[in-house]
Amino acid sequence: MSDRKVTSRRISRNVAIAVAVVVGAFFVVLAVSKPRTDTDISTPLLGQPAPEVVSDLVGGGEFDLSRRKGSWVVLNFFNSTCVPCINEHPELVVFDKEQSTLPDGAELVTIVNDDTDDAVAAFFEKNGGGWPKVRDPDGTIAVSFGVARVPETWVIDPAGFVRVRYAGEVTSNELTARINGMKATP
């Protein structure tokens, strides 16, 4: 066999080995990586001043987040047809009830996402929840927070800074424990 053929075979073999290693590494990474299951997710807004939230309330009135400084505020992005939102709702009712009994309890606020006033009003009338429901008809508030899917729950501290972002369903206990923890270690 000529030298040229030997060299050519050697190059082909090395290239094949390199490709096999890359493909193998790719499969290993896919096999080892764990799917994301946590609801407490990151955002560039963590530790930053919360975006402006100024809008009308369902049923009348206005809401301005900057006027809530001094209180812990929990913003819940919601849609009355979203199943996780419906599942989560009883937990929010419990959370709101518990917080309203505390002198420094958090204020729960719903941000209505792509929904009508009538549907939202009917949902809350049926399932309870007397907290403010803020209209977001053009999605400005959702975009400013980077919310694409509901439900999402954001915790804003009394200074107006974003402290926690939850994607998906939350429980009353989880929210309460988290806020109490942050109150204890500001």
Partner 1 sequence: MSTKQSSLKSWPVWAAMGIIVVVMLVFGALRDSGPSTQAERVDAIAQRLACPTCDGESIYVSRAPAAEAIRNEIARQVAAGQSADNEIVAYIEQRFPGSLLLPRAEGVDSLVWILPVVVLVLGFGGLALAFRKWRDEAEAQATEADVALVAESLGTTESSEKNDRDDD
Q: Which residues bind partner 1 (CB under 8 A)?
A: 44-45, 113-114, 138-140, 142-146, 148-149
Taking alpha carbons only, the member of 186, 171, 149, 140 closest to residue 47 is: 186
Quick one: 59 or 139, whose CB is closer to partner 1?
139
Quick one: 167 or 179, whose CB is closer to partner 1?
167
Quick one: 53 or 175, whose CB is closer to partner 1?
53
CB of 127 to partner 1, least distance (A): 22
Report the residue count for the chain: 186
Distance CA 99, CA 109 (A): 12
DSSP E strands: which ranges in 57-186?
62-64, 73-78, 107-112, 133-134, 152-156, 162-167
CB of 21 to partner 1, least distance (A): 19
CB of 128 to partner 1, least distance (A): 26
Q: What angle do CA 96, 102, 107 make, to 5 degrees?
A: 40
Task: Kindly state the tokens that stand for 175.
Answer: 């929210």
CB of 95 to partner 1, least distance (A): 26
Quick one: 71 or 140, whose CB is closer to partner 1?
140
